[in-house]
Structure 1
Amino acid sequence: MNKRVYKIFILMILDLIGLYVSFMIAYILKFDALKSIPKELTVHLYKTILVMVAIKFICLIIMNLYRKLWRFAGITEMIDILIACGVGSAAVMGVLFAISRQPEFQDILIPRSILLMAFILDVIFIGGTRFSYRLFFHVSPKEIIRNQHQKRVLIYGAGQAGVMVLKELHAKANNEYAVIGFADDDLSKKNQKMHGLPVFGGEEDLIKTIAKEEIDMLVIAMPSVAENRQKEIIQIVKDLGIKINILPKVYDLINGSLSYSSIRPVQIEDLLGREQVELNNEQISAYIKDKVVLVTGGGGSIGSELCRQIVKYKPRQLIIVDIYENNAYDIQIELKRSHPDQALFVAIASVRDEERIKQIFETFSPEVVFHAAAHKHVPLMEDSPEEAIKNNVFGTYNIANAANIYKAKKMVLISTDKAVNPTNVMGASKRLCEMVIQAFANSESKTEFAAVRFGNVLGSNGSVIPLFKKQIHEGGPITVTHPEIIRYFMTIPEAAQLVIQAGGLAKGGEIFVLDMGDPVKIDMLARDLIRLSGLKPEVDIKIEYTGLRPGEKLFEELLMSEEGLTSTENQKIFIARPMDWTLEALCDGLTVLKEALKNREAIVPVIKALVPTFKTPEEINKPFLKK
């Protein structure tokens, strides 16, 4: 007999005894003593007591009272006991009434007061055995010793989600955590008790509460509030050296489907606190549903997320183009698993290969094209400028030219803030890509060409965040190029969603500029990552300043001075005024640029001639370094 079955067996024995004793005591209370019970009722008692006990016992089984974890019994379990005992008493009354209707059993009539008292005693006995078990568990020497090593937890949010977190921590955390209480912004809840735990004040009292109660971990259980509010709470406690966990914004919390795995550590994305993107799904669906959609660089961080978002709108076919087969294979397997009915084709190809690109367009006739393939590592492209030009500039030209020849309805280029007043070859190459798109848009093409410009993407390949996390995992140091360097950030899903939305807004020639929110100091970002890892900057993990890399500037811009900015129906998407590039003039410039690829020394001067805003990092950084 295993331990679980043994416990159930003991509980059943105790319940049978309790149910029997309840009837006996009910009779005693009614008549003061067993000897005072009328003779006919004594006969009834001994004739029917076993039947009544059996009926109630069967009801306890049917009501699943032997399938619960009584170690964590609470008000819900008490209600279950009341219902089960009530059903049992009602069943007994119904059976006795049915029996008394038979002529041979007409003399069997038990006073209702006895049945009522027996019901009350049932609840006391059955509830007592279960809650005494929970009490024993909390006061046993073994449990007291264990509790001394538990992490003390404060739950921020005394609502439905907070209560669910409490239950999950009790049930699934193997006694690792001891919940001390709740914190809540609602002043009416302050100094009240929930599930036997105190409710402390909100933001104003948070630091004092954490210090006084010696809190080790804060769980933010407010999935329905704005992310900026969660960010404010995280900012208050991030320097206190405690662990911070959070419930993600999951809407199925309403249905009570929280799991222990939903409670996750705070990530840097939470600290940046960007609001959820609101999309015009009808507008997106109108140009993607039942269309053939092609994504270049579809295995990369942005490209793969574009594919994940696109399939939600049910294109007729999705074509993924990528030169790196491993990434392409990963997203292919993922999409086949998540969307088995989606028509999907993966083409291994380089955007540099003009003939291969034309072959793909001729075969599949894509109607919508997202061009995400690019070389984007600034220092690497400074060392290999010809590769940046071949892949970014001429790769974009090949895609745009094929879209034009094979009459794709839309083409959207993924650009970067580094294209604005570029100080490096990579940024200048992306500015040339924007010029390619605008030149095709200004031609007689049937395709609607557009570009979407945004800053750094959290967690993307080559992003600073994965590098910092790796350095923290290795024990440091974290390397920051300059203490004053500033960048804009957004999450990968947010960037992909806004790119797709911008595609729906495109009419031809626009450079869409995404709202990147507030700029972030990379130095502060590194320090926050260290704190979120439960460590202290400069104590546990050192920070080293390595100096600006070749081609790097202190801050990135999203708009050039000559560009106007027009708002759109989406508050996070703006339009820069299109430039008047002609396709003929651009092709002449690209011919010169292609010739310059034969001589590395000639590449940068030709780029500067084509991109007048291309400046040296010193020209851009010098005024700010003096401050």
Structure 2
Amino acid sequence: MKRLLRSAHKNYKPTMMVLHDLLMLSVAFLAAMAIRLNGVDWAFETELLICLGLTLASSSFIFLRLGLYRTVIRYMGQQALVAVLQGVTASAVVLAVASYLTYAGVPRSVPVIYWCFALIAVGGSRWLVRIYYQMALEIHKTRVAIYGAGTAGLQLYKALVHGAVYKPVAFFDDNASKQKTLIDGVLVYNPANILDVVAERDISEVLLAMPGVPKRRRREITRGLRESGLVVKVIPGLEELVDGAGRSSELPQVYENVLGRAPVEPEKSLIASSISGKVVLVTGAGGSIGSELCRQIAQWRPAHLIMLESSEYALYQIERELCQQLQDEGEPILVTALLGDVRNRARMAEIIESFAVQTIYHAAAYKHVPLVEQNVVLGADNNVLGTLSVLEAAEACGVEQFVLISTDKAVRPTNVMGATKRLAELICQDFGRRFNKTRVCMVRFGNVLGSSGSVIPLFTDQINAGGPVTVTHQKVTRYFMTIPEAAQLVLQAGSMGRNGDVFVLDMGEPVRIYDLARRLIQIMGHTVRDEEHPDGDIEIQITGLRPGEKLYEELLLGDSVSGTDHPMIMRAEEERLGSEELQALVAELKDACKRYDCNRVHQLLQKAVRDYNPRQQLVDVVWARQQDAQPVKKVGEVELLPFSGNR
């Protein structure tokens, strides 16, 4: 039954188009006869009816063969118009031949008049529908300008005209020979007048379409436009998109498409006050968020950017990238890369004091839910005590601002990672309340598209391997944001935070992971294989929720929320623990981590984070192995466990 319904729905539009064309051709024939006979009364004799029937039947077959009923009218271009011209001409020839064969007595000039009316009726009606559809879309489109009137700019223009999001209203190009010319009725302007044109044409964004221009020149243009207060997006060329199809690092448009909202634009004044001319330290600088923070901080010209990372390779990568970028742009920014562990308080105090650090963005953390669930003690040690270590050093050395990178998993956590991040938030709230030297705040957001371990790189790899794409549950939903959005939110919060504030982003509606998987499969040019489409390319498998994972994430613990200087950033007013109780719990946690007492660490997390509701028993791998193994020998205080070749 479903197949019948789908088949009927699929054939509905072509059938209606055939009936429409038959009606238009009949009207054209009648109009041609009426004009030729000058209004003289005439009747449909049998021969005339046979002639018209042959013409209509032959015309339908010809139109079908020419592909007129496969053409999507809203995308109809020159080729479709040629097909209409060919079809109508063939129809007029058929009319003349049918009139001769049936002795219908159709005047010889009627096929010519019929050709004119049929061309207007068949082709004109399609063109009117196309114009109406485009006009309806343009009401809701964002007005944009395209910087670059070359091949890439023209390709982008054609794509946007048929899209439902952007309306190109101006071109800009550095080439003087292209200026003051028209491209499909759109004027090419001199970039020197860009601010006036943007204001006059009510342009919201500038799209840079110059893939053939050297990267250094593109950066100069982008930086100049952004310094003028314009929103700029760099668009890759068509060849770049084709060559890079299927690579997760080259899918920025996919990331924005899944948000279901426009990316949040930064308030430049908020960012500048925390970074420009300051000595800035980023911990976890080699991670997805940490490295993007470094990239964006460098754009705001700090006096000195210090990058701290425990992974030598990750630190090397971001240092090399930043140094090359700053060299290309000619920016005189001092960048220092340091190896270090945030849990080492002495090392942190040494770094902060030696470089006179003014702002700290603390991004160092273990964040992968299943891994932290299996390494409870190290997760607590790094995420909680590491944060405490940096905070104590910052307060002792008089750092102006401290911003903690948190997560939506800290809200009513069901896993160890979320619980450790919530306890780190509580410690930051306590410091913000007790001390005055350092302004402390936290930034809480959902999943970051394109970060290490996020779903899109994982799904992309699975699709490239031929599937299946694995989703833990069909109803799992998550909030999403792009890496640049996450970094900008963090940078802006630093200037607004006080007394342990928690900031959250208005992230729109949550996205269902199953729908995201289907969309990504289709974007990458494949079809989904399921019960309804057994011949599809890629299957989606439901694997079941992982330890500590929950169906829905939240951003707020309560309903008490206030606005900020940024319209898309909210300040959450949440419950805090008393200082004495919190300090006692942290002291116990330190002792339990030293003893590697996994069970006690878990108990303390549950005690400190009152909303922590673990969904399963403790699954720390090493601790579980120790519980199962029987000690065979003791040397002093150390137990030697039975050796197994599988360990």
Bin for the TM-score computed over the shorter chain: 0.5 to 0.7
Residue number in structure 2 paired with 1:572: 568
Asked if the contact 1:223/1:249 (under 8 Å) is kept, the reply is no
1:601 maps onto 2:588 in alignment: no
Asked if the contact 1:481/1:547 (under 8 Å) is kept, the reply is yes
Aligned partners of 2:400 and 2:164: how far apart in 1? 38
TM-superposed deviation, 1:476: 0.6
1:381 maps onto 2:393 in alignment: no
- Summarize the Cα distance change of 1:392–1:315 in structure 2 as closer, same or farther, 3 Å threshold: same
After superposition, the C-alpha distances for 1:485-509 in whole angstroms (9 at most, x for unaligned) are: 1101000001111111111211231
1:611 maps onto 2:620 in alignment: no
Aligned partners of 2:75 and 2:442: how far apart in 1? 42
TM-superposed deviation, 1:591: 1.0
- Summarize the Cα distance change of 1:425–1:253 in structure 2 as closer, same or farther, 3 Å threshold: same
Task: Please point out which of 204, 229, 238 is paired with 2:165.
Answer: 229
What SS does structure 1 have at the residue aligned with 2:336?
A: strand
Residue identity in the other structure for 1:267 = V
TM-superposed deviation, 1:524: 0.6
1:260 maps onto 2:251 in alignment: no
Task: Please point out which of 263, 287, 294 is paired with 1:307.
Answer: 294
Residue number in structure 2 paired with 1:360: 351
What SS does structure 1 have at the residue aligned with 2:266?
A: coil
Residue number in structure 2 paired with 1:297: 284
1:522 maps onto 2:522 in alignment: no
Aligned partners of 2:475 and 2:335: how far apart in 1? 45
The structure with the largest alpha-carbon Rg is: 1
What SS does structure 2 have at the residue aligned with 1:442?
A: helix
Asked if the contact 1:294/1:368 (under 8 Å) is kept, the reply is yes
Asked if the contact 1:511/1:575 (under 8 Å) is kept, the reply is yes
After superposition, the C-alpha distances for 1:350-391 in whole angstroms (9 at most, x for unaligned) are: 111122111111211210000001000111111110011011
Aligned partners of 2:431 and 2:239: how far apart in 1? 48
After superposition, the C-alpha distances for 1:53-98 in whole angstroms (9 at most, x for unaligned) are: xxxxxxxxxxxxxxxxxxxxxxxxxxxxxxxxxxxxxxxxxxxxxx
**What TM-score, normalized by structure 1, do the two folds share?**
0.60
Aligned partners of 1:457 and 1:409: how far apart in 2? 28
Task: Please point out which of 537, 555, 558 is paired with 1:558.
Answer: 555
Residue identity in the other structure for 1:285 = A
Give percent identity, aligned residues only: 42
C-alpha RMSD over aligned residues: 3.6
Task: Please point out which of 470, 475, 499 is paired with 1:479.
Answer: 470
1:370-409 aligned at under 5 Å gives the runs: 370-409=361-400
Asked if the contact 2:548/2:616 (under 8 Å) is kept, the reply is no
Which ranges of structure 2 fall in alignment gaps of 5 or more residues? Answer: 1-70, 78-123, 139-154, 168-203, 214-234, 246-252, 530-535, 618-647
- Summarize the Cα distance change of 1:517–1:537 in structure 2 as closer, same or farther, 3 Å threshold: same
Residue number in structure 2 paired with 1:279: 266
1:532 maps onto 2:527 in alignment: no
Aligned partners of 1:495 and 1:157: how far apart in 2? 40
1:251 maps onto 2:242 in alignment: no
Asked if the contact 2:468/2:539 (under 8 Å) is kept, the reply is yes
- Summarize the Cα distance change of 1:329–1:255 in structure 2 as closer, same or farther, 3 Å threshold: closer
Residue identity in the other structure for 1:251 = L
Residue number in structure 2 paired with 1:431: 422
What SS does structure 1 have at the residue aligned with 2:280?
A: strand
Aligned partners of 1:376 and 1:447: how far apart in 2? 26
Aligned partners of 1:190 and 1:439: how far apart in 2? 68
Aligned partners of 2:575 and 2:471: how far apart in 1? 36
- Summarize the Cα distance change of 1:442–1:259 in structure 2 as closer, same or farther, 3 Å threshold: closer
Aligned partners of 1:365 and 1:491: how far apart in 2? 32
Asked if the contact 1:357/1:398 (under 8 Å) is kept, the reply is yes
Aligned partners of 2:562 and 2:446: how far apart in 1? 19
Aligned partners of 2:502 and 2:385: how far apart in 1? 19
What SS does structure 1 have at the residue aligned with 2:528?
A: coil
Aligned partners of 1:371 and 1:268: how far apart in 2? 25
What SS does structure 2 have at the residue aligned with 1:339?
A: helix
1:191 maps onto 2:127 in alignment: yes
Residue number in structure 2 paired with 1:541: 538
Q: How many residues align?
A: 407
Asked if the contact 2:74/2:134 (under 8 Å) is kept, the reply is no
- Summarize the Cα distance change of 1:293–1:259 in structure 2 as closer, same or farther, 3 Å threshold: closer
Asked if the contact 2:369/2:549 (under 8 Å) is kept, the reply is yes
Asked if the contact 1:452/1:502 (under 8 Å) is kept, the reply is yes
What SS does structure 1 have at the residue aligned with 2:493?
A: helix
Aligned partners of 1:205 and 1:452: how far apart in 2? 37
After superposition, the C-alpha distances for 1:379-421 in whole angstroms (9 at most, x for unaligned) are: 1111110011011000100111111011110000000000000
- Summarize the Cα distance change of 1:303–1:314 in structure 2 as closer, same or farther, 3 Å threshold: same
TM-superposed deviation, 1:594: 1.9
Which ranges of structure 1 fall in alignment gaps of 5 or more residues? Answer: 1-151, 159-187, 193-197, 207-218, 232-247, 620-627
TM-superposed deviation, 1:297: 0.6
Residue number in structure 1 paired with 2:134: 202
After superposition, the C-alpha distances for 1:296-332 in whole angstroms (9 at most, x for unaligned) are: 0111110111111111111000000000111111111
Greater Cα shift, 577-586 or 401-410:
577-586
Residue number in structure 1 paired with 2:191: none
What SS does structure 2 have at the residue aligned with 1:493?
A: helix
Asked if the contact 2:285/2:294 (under 8 Å) is kept, the reply is yes
TM-superposed deviation, 1:450: 0.1
1:46-195 aligned at under 5 Å gives the runs: 191=127
**What TM-score, normalized by structure 2, do the two folds share?**
0.58
What SS does structure 1 have at the residue aligned with 2:165?
A: helix
